[in-house]
A and B are shown apart, each in its own frame.
Chain A
Amino acid sequence: MRKIWDIHGGIHPPENKAQSLDHSIEFAGIPAQLILPVSQHIGAAASPIVQIGDTVLKGQCIAEAVGPVSVPIHAPSSGTITAIEDRPIAHPSGLDDLCIVIDTDGRDTWHQPPSSRDFTQLDKATLVELIHNHGIAGMGGAGFPTSIKLNVGEPNNIKTLILNGTECEPYITSDHVLMREYSRKLAQGIAILAKLVQPEEILLGVEDNKIDVVAGLQNALKQHDFSALTGKATSAEVITFPTKYPSGGEKQLIEILTGKQVPTGSLPASLGIVCQNLGTAVAISDAVIDDRPLISRITTVTGQAVTKPRNFEVLLGTPVEYLLARSGYNASINNRLVMGGPMMGFTLLDITMPVVKTTNCILAPTEAELPTPPPAQACIRCGLCAEACPASLLPQQLFWFAQGKELEKLEQHNIADCIECGACSYVCPSNIPLVQYYRASKAEIRQRDADMQQAEHAKLRFDARQERLDRLEAEKIAARQARQAKAAANKAAQAGQDPKAATVAAALARVGAKKSALEPTHKAPASDPAPDATLATDVDDPVQRAIARRATQQQADTANPAAALQRAVESAEARLKKARLRLTNAEAEQDNNVDAFKLAVDKCQSKLNQARAALDAHHAAKNL
């Protein structure tokens, strides 16, 4: 016997499963109309590839996947497309969404009749592709596209493949009958999964209220040589454990079977575990072996408002109304209609809504069965909710913080780890709809995070702009100081020499320069930068350095006026270019200093003109 672990908390609500277990799975039949929402799973909605008026055949693709996290949709039966429009769909939000409507012709003609394929000969990529192309999404919970979950890469570190046969919610028996009647297909599906993820062990977890299916499952599993499929010594076991809600939560089941907890915020794959739903495994077998896309599923119809509770093989898109009619539904005693189970299902307001890939149950209870909740009383902090919480949270504290909208406290108390199982609400003697508060709070936290991200983005942009403006300002100051220093130096030079002397000196210097050019080894004294006081004082100060540089150049300039003038032109050109650039930037950003930048450009332009004129004049004078 393999060791199993217990999870914290949990509850034992009345099971109410026997009602729908008496009969074997029954084909629900072909309704006159099938309504297929293009979005039946997490990820991008499929995009319709048919038009109104088109005739489609059973199994024909009618909407193709958009991007990787998306799966295509196939026609569940043959008929004519009569509408592609928004219809009410089965979703907790109660919103309408795009649906493809098929008026069936009753002939149920296959697009391409199911064949039979030997999957052992196929490589992984082909398997993943088949699974994707046949529209397979997780058939429990959120409906995650299966091909993505199985694309575990190579080499993978998956050690354990878990099949979730728990079905812990009261009333629902669709997985139970699936294990009872489809065990062969299930085992085939498991074999394909094994070939894909190559686990060292395969665990099929079943609650002990379904003990009747275990022998059949074990036999079915024996038909496959898993070691040959995985290339490892792979074992496959059916494991039973005590019935308790919510053992079937993926994280809970993993803890029960392996004793490990999936670290918060990570996927089971981080522990080397892949978890799959039973319906998905059967659908994989259908897709890979029989080439049959996912066009039907098993759905339990139960509750005291139906006289014939049972499990149906239902074409996807079948209106709930149609199923209810086949089960002896008495609308007058039905107080609410639940899609899913009594713990996590959501109410339907419109009985024309269609069955989708994740619809495991339609529950039609009477008022006596699931009474309308009385008004909530005060939380008396009895702690029953904390006792029941499988995630070991403190629901009463979360409730307290949710009322006060203390989002940070909620996060500190790990609201993100709440799986919304409803165990806390179930036990609360004050009838507080705790889960409702948590859902609302989670939505608020998401909203706040989105807002914060936006604000952060805006702040980054603001900071960058501020930094740029500061830099420009600093450059301006430095330039102004340099100009002042130059002016001062010019003045000093002019004060020290009368114009004639300067011309003489310049001529002498020219001669000297020529001389030095002829005698390269001898350095002209004029071009030898004298050890300057300013240069030595503070070389770390950029302004001082600029001044010093200017001063040194000044000496050289007096020696070679043409070069100096040339440099003046060049620098004026450069400055003009920079000023223009700044102006365009400022205009692009609608800066309110645009006018100032314009002025700067004009100034630079006139300076350049002056410099050019001076240079021309100099050349003219020389050529004389």
Chain B
Amino acid sequence: MPLVQITSPHAHTSQSTSSVMLLVALATLPGVAALTIGFGWGTITNIVLSIIFALALEAGAVSLRKQPIGFYLRDNSALVTAILLGIALPPYASWWIILTGMFFAIIIAKHLYGGLGYNPFNPAMVGYVVLLISFPIEMTRWAAPLELVSELDTSGVSKPTLIESFGIALRLIELPAIDGFTMATPLDLLRQNDALMISDLKQTYPQFGAQGGLVWEWANLGFLIGGLFLLYRKIYTWHGPVSMLVTLSLLAAIFYDGGSSNSGGSPMLHLFSGATMLGAWFILTDPVSSAVSNKGRIIFGAGIGALIFIIRQWGNYPDSVAFAVLLMNFAAPLIDHYTQPKTYGHS
């Protein structure tokens, strides 16, 4: 073989960005499975449509920027963005919602900033927030847990099959009657029902479940497992997620108020409801838009945890992970500036 000139180092780990991204995608499986079992095929239709749109948009953007398409699609970053947004959207979201969201995520939040690695904001969360602000009704209509759907089977709502679900997502089949098929989430209820004690809420609304809400607690557990797997595979360090979860639990504990009518909900409720675990292990761990050093990531995670609680408790939106993450994305460069590690030999 002809000898080549290559600068050191010559050895390299087998880990590649593509495989890291693929692993992240795989690690969402337990959570996605829990959501699908709990809410029906709507999560799957979200994810599948998201992936299709994301790859198409990514290919379009890359070719407009005159870069090799295959090379960039293979980094799998668009895949991960698509999966995360698909999970975050209410199940059975319509195709145009998904397309709009993906457009903002891939084109605006990523490629307009220069592509992967240059985006200051988490693309999936940008897409989510744009949708939430633009289409509040569609975005807050969350599917009811299937096990409650059958109980409330008054208006002839059936559980759509996979094919039917795609029909719904493409709006070829009408969305089933709104009452019964969709339902307020536990976090919604918590905010809207100030007059009731937590125990009363739990009795009145079956969707509260044991800890974080029916389905939600399983989905959160699923994402926690996925996250621990990634941690074990050293895809990221514990600093960001743990710091966020600890901060959130501490604030929840302080404001728990013994479950009174003013209660903000128990730490367990906060940990296992909404997008908490998804946010902790899949969103704030997005390396591109987070702080870079371990110390910086502790601050970054703590900021997100605090903002999640503040917005959940006093804000106006059903869940707050996306806002919290975007706000801290703003702060990341500042955090980096103040958390530069001490270089060897410097005092």
Nearest to A266 among chain B residues (CB) is B345
B116 contacts which chain A residues (CB < 8 A)? Answer: 377-378, 380
Which of B297, B342, B344 is the most central at the interface, judged by chain A CB atoms within 10 Å of its CB?
B344
* Smallest beta-carbon distance A267→chain B, Å: 11
Cross-chain contact B287 with A261 (CB below 8 angstroms): no
Stretch at the interface among A74-82, A423-431, A599-607: A423-431
Given contacts A8-B344, A336-B3, contact A380 B288 (CB under 8 A): yes
Cross-chain contact A251 with B344 (CB below 8 angstroms): yes
Cross-chain contact B8 with A380 (CB below 8 angstroms): no
Q: Give the complex CA separation of A170 and B13 in angstroms.
A: 13
Cross-chain contact A264 with B346 (CB below 8 angstroms): yes
A372 contacts which chain B residues (CB < 8 A)? Answer: 4, 6
Cross-chain contact A335 with B9 (CB below 8 angstroms): no
Cβ-based interface call for B343 (8 A): yes
Stretch at the interface among B14-22, B82-90, B262-270: B14-22
Cβ-based interface call for A383 (8 A): yes
Cross-chain contact B15 with A427 (CB below 8 angstroms): yes
Q: Give the complex CA separation of A414 and B1 in angstroms.
A: 40
B10 contacts which chain A residues (CB < 8 A)? Answer: 336, 338, 342-343, 345, 347, 363, 365, 370
Which of B3, B287, B341 is the one whose CB lies under 8 Å from A382?
B287
Binding site of B, secondary structure by majority: helix, strand, loop or mixed? Answer: loop
Cross-chain contact B1 with A331 (CB below 8 angstroms): yes
Cross-chain contact A332 with B8 (CB below 8 angstroms): no
Q: Give the complex CA separation of A92 and B7 in angstroms.
A: 9
Cross-chain contact B7 with A436 (CB below 8 angstroms): yes
Q: Give the complex CA separation of A430 and B8 in angstroms.
A: 16
Cross-chain contact B11 with A397 (CB below 8 angstroms): no
Cross-chain contact B344 with A396 (CB below 8 angstroms): no
Q: Give the complex CA separation of A333 and B2 in angstroms.
A: 9
Which of A261, A375, A382 is the one whose CB lies under 8 Å from B344?
A261
Q: Give the complex CA separation of A170 and B292 in angstroms.
A: 29
Cross-chain contact A261 with B17 (CB below 8 angstroms): no
Which of A345, A346, A413, A426 is the one whose CB lies under 8 Å from B13?
A426
Range for the number of chain A residues in contact with chain B: 35 or more
Q: Give the complex CA separation of A47 and B336 in angstroms.
A: 52
Cross-chain contact B17 with A380 (CB below 8 angstroms): yes
A583 contacts which chain B residues (CB < 8 A)? Answer: none
Cross-chain contact B4 with A342 (CB below 8 angstroms): no
Cross-chain contact A381 with B288 (CB below 8 angstroms): yes
B75 contacts which chain A residues (CB < 8 A)? Answer: 377-378
Which of B1, B5, B9 is the one whose CB lies under 8 Å from A342?
B9
Cross-chain contact B6 with A336 (CB below 8 angstroms): yes
* Smallest beta-carbon distance A351→chain B, Å: 8
A435 contacts which chain B residues (CB < 8 A)? Answer: 7-9
Cβ-based interface call for A471 (8 A): no
B-contacting residues, A407-465, CB 8 Å: 413-414, 417, 420, 422-423, 425-427, 429-431, 433, 435-436, 439
Given contacts A381-B288, A387-B237, A392-B341, contact A431 B117 (CB under 8 A): no
Q: Give the complex CA separation of A117 and B273 in angstroms.
A: 81
A373 contacts which chain B residues (CB < 8 A)? Answer: 6, 12
Cβ-based interface call for A568 (8 A): no
A371 contacts which chain B residues (CB < 8 A)? Answer: 12
Which of B1, B7, B13, B342 is the one whose CB lies under 8 Å from A427?
B13
Nearest to B240 among chain A residues (CB) is A383
Q: Give the complex CA separation of A390 and B113 in angstroms.
A: 32
* Smallest beta-carbon distance A411→chain B, Å: 12
A429 contacts which chain B residues (CB < 8 A)? Answer: 13, 15-17, 19-20
Q: Give the complex CA separation of A335 and B115 in angstroms.
A: 34
* Smallest beta-carbon distance A329→chain B, Å: 12
Q: Give the complex CA separation of A8 and B19 in angstroms.
A: 26
* Smallest beta-carbon distance B339→chain A, Å: 10
| Number of A-B contacts defined by CB within 8 Å | 170
Cβ-based interface call for A544 (8 A): no
Q: Give the complex CA separation of A396 and B344 in angstroms.
A: 17
* Smallest beta-carbon distance A434→chain B, Å: 9
Q: Give the complex CA separation of A299 and B325 in angstroms.
A: 54
Cβ-based interface call for A394 (8 A): yes
Given contacts A380-B287, A394-B292, A426-B13, contact A347 B3 (CB under 8 A): yes
Q: Give the complex CA separation of A261 and B12 in angstroms.
A: 28
B117 contacts which chain A residues (CB < 8 A)? Answer: 378-381
* Smallest beta-carbon distance A68→chain B, Å: 27
Q: Give the complex CA separation of A413 and B252 in angstroms.
A: 39
A-contacting residues, B295-347, CB 8 Å: 297, 336, 340-347
Cβ-based interface call for A262 (8 A): yes
* Smallest beta-carbon distance A387→chain B, Å: 7
* Smallest beta-carbon distance B141→chain A, Å: 34
Given contacts A332-B1, A430-B16, contact A386 B292 (CB under 8 A): yes
Q: Give the complex CA separation of A386 and B336 in angstroms.
A: 13
A367 contacts which chain B residues (CB < 8 A)? Answer: 1
Q: Give the complex CA separation of A427 and B236 in angstroms.
A: 13
Cβ-based interface call for A66 (8 A): no
Cβ-based interface call for A334 (8 A): yes
Cross-chain contact A386 with B341 (CB below 8 angstroms): yes
Nearest to A412 among chain B residues (CB) is B340
A269 contacts which chain B residues (CB < 8 A)? Answer: none
Q: Give the complex CA separation of A586 and B339 in angstroms.
A: 58
Which of B17, B75, B342, B346 is the most central at the interface, judged by chain A CB atoms within 10 Å of its CB?
B17
Query: Using an 8 Å CB-CB cutoff, how does the interface string of A256-267 with B read, 1 for contact, 0 for none?
Result: 000001111100
A377 contacts which chain B residues (CB < 8 A)? Answer: 16-18, 71, 75, 116
Cβ-based interface call for A48 (8 A): no
Cβ-based interface call for A298 (8 A): no
B237 contacts which chain A residues (CB < 8 A)? Answer: 383, 387
Cross-chain contact B3 with A383 (CB below 8 angstroms): no
Cβ-based interface call for B77 (8 A): yes
Nearest to A249 among chain B residues (CB) is B344
Nearest to B114 among chain A residues (CB) is A378
Cross-chain contact B343 with A170 (CB below 8 angstroms): no
Cβ-based interface call for A46 (8 A): no
* Smallest beta-carbon distance B84→chain A, Å: 15
Which of B11, B18, B71, B288 is the one whose CB lies under 8 Å from A343?
B11
Cβ-based interface call for B293 (8 A): yes
A-B contact pairs, 22 of them (CB 8 A): A13-B11, A262-B345, A336-B3, A342-B9, A343-B8, A347-B10, A371-B12, A375-B71, A377-B71, A377-B116, A378-B17, A378-B115, A380-B77, A382-B287, A383-B287, A386-B341, A393-B341, A414-B343, A417-B344, A427-B13, A435-B9, A439-B7
A-B pairs with the 3 shortest C-beta distances?
A: A422-B9, A378-B117, A264-B345
